[in-house]
């Protein structure tokens, strides 16, 4: 509810009179008439409901209420001055709120944050990385980087990149089993396998000309970045997206096992609320460029 306050001028007049001990001196310093100062003090006392000064022959003296008010008002004006100084002639960056799929953040984007932030000068970026079930509505974020099939009918979107799925493993796993890449698809399937709850092995097996039956796995993951980390640790062979495994492949922590690669139909999109494309555009363009740099597109 709106609160009514005394005027700034009346409070300044009160403080000046309190400091000088004289309405006349206060009027001179504020370039006002004596009657104007008296009127402002009177209106302030009416607002507060009690006198702030005692008028004596030698001048004016603060009442107890006046002393308390003067000390607190001085602090109050100091806070106002600090608040104004904090924003006066200072560039306050715009805030961009970006929701990032947790797999993407762990497996790819976090390592590229310096490049992303450098491409967004003048913005302060807030990153959210929540689980799929707890993601905020699009009204609360400027753009969301999500994996999906492009099924967000109530929003605007742009695909960040297409991708492919390949079988990879750590050099240590191959060494333990006495094999070297490249392998025939059937030989790769003879190694320990990792599973991902959102991806079946069957499309890859079909593309490799093998019997399309879901194989047994030594461990399964609901987070692709964690599966990639398990593969790097030499636990088993994983089917991975090129984007999320790019750094591990570049640094030879993982190696491709075969030349079989299938298109990823569950791809990375930028999604935003309708009509907010201008705010989303800078993030979308920057992330698309980072993806092209990563995949060599």
Domain positions in the chain are: 8-87, 94-162+267-295, 164-263
Name the band, by pLDDT with cuts 50, 70 and 90, for residue 151: confident
Interstrand relation of 194-196 and 156-161 (parallel, antiparallel or unpaired): unpaired
Residue 90, pLDDT above cutoff 70: no
Say whether 164-263 and 94-162+267-295 share the same fold.
Answer: yes
- The model carries a pTM of 0.68
Residue range 136-158: mean pLDDT, rounded: 83
Q: Report the distance separating Cα 237 and Cα 254, nearest Å.
A: 10
Percent of the chain with pLDDT strictly greater than 70 = 94
For the domain covering 94-162+267-295, report its CATH number: 3.40.190.10
pLDDT, mean over the chain? 90
- For residues 196-221, give the mean pLDDT: 96
Q: Are 63 and 18 in contact (CB under 8 A)?
A: no
pLDDT for position 86: 76
pLDDT band at 270 (very low <50, low <70, confident <90, very high): very high
Which pLDDT score is estimated for 207? 97
* Contact yes or no for 204/240 (Cβ under 8 A): no
Cα(235)–Cα(194) distance, rounded to whole angstroms?
Answer: 8
**Local confidence band at 154 (pLDDT 50, 70, 90 cut-offs):** confident
φ, ψ (nearest 5 deg) of residue 239: -90, 120
> Given a cut of 60, is residue 172 above it in pLDDT?
yes
How does DSSP classify residue 227?
H
| Distance separating alpha carbons of residues 245 and 222, to the nearest angstrom | 16
pLDDT at 136: 52
Q: What pLDDT score does 98 carry?
A: 95
Distance of CA 46 to the CA centre of its chain: 50
Would you tell me which CATH number, out of the four given (3.40.50.970, 1.10.10.10, 3.10.20.90, 1.10.1740.10), belongs to the domain 8-87?
1.10.10.10
Q: Taking a C-beta distance cutoff of 8 angstroms, is the pair 107, 228 a contact? A: yes
Please say if the pLDDT value at position 124 is more than 60.
yes
CATH topology of domain 164-263: D-Maltodextrin-Binding Protein; domain 2 (3.40.190)
With b meaning 16 or more CB within 10 Å and e meaning fewer, what string describes 89-125? eeeeeeebbbbbbbbbbbbbbeebeeebeeebeebeb
Question: What six digits make up the tokens of 244?
Answer: 């999320």
Please compute the mean of the pLDDT values over residues 186-209 and round it to a whole number.
96
Average pLDDT on 245-268 reads: 95
Query: Percentages helix, strand, coil for the chain, rounded to the nearest 5?
Result: 45, 25, 30
């Amino acid at each position: 509810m709106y609160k009514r306050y005394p005027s700034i001028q009346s409070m300044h007049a009160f403080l000046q009179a309190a400091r000088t001990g004289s309405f006349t001196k206060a009027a001179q310093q504020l370039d006002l008439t004596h009657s104007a100062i008296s009127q402002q003090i009177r209106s302030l006392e009416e607002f507060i409901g009690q006198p702030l000064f005692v008028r004596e022959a030698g001048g004016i003296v603060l009442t107890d209420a006046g002393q308390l008010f003067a000390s607190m008002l001085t602090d109050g004006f100091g806070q106002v001055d600090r608040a104004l100084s904090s924003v006066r002639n200072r560039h306050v960056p715009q805030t961009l709120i970006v929701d990032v799929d947790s797999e993407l953040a762990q497996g790819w984007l976090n390592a590229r944050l310096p490049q992303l932030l450098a491409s967004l000068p003048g913005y302060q970026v807030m990153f959210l990385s929540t689980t799929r079930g707890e993601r905020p509505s699009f009204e609360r974020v400027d753009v969301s980087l999500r994996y999906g099939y492009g099924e967000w009918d109530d929003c605007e979107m742009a695909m960040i990149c297409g991708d492919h799925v390949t079988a990879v493993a750590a050099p240590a796993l191959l060494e333990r089993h006495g094999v070297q890449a490249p392998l025939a698809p059937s030989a790769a399937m003879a190694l320990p396998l990792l599973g991902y709850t959102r991806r079946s092995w069957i499309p890859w097996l079909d593309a490799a000309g093998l019997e399309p039956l879901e194989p047994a796995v030594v461990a399964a993951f609901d987070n692709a970045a964690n599966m990639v980390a398990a593969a790097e640790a030499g636990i088993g062979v994983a089917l991975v997206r090129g984007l999320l495994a790019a750094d591990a492949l570049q640094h030879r922590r993982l190696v491709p096992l075969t030349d079989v690669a299938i298109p990823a139909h569950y791809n990375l999109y930028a999604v935003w609320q309708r009509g907010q494309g201008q705010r989303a555009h800078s993030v979308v363009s920057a992330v698309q460029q980072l993806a092209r740099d990563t995949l060599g597109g």
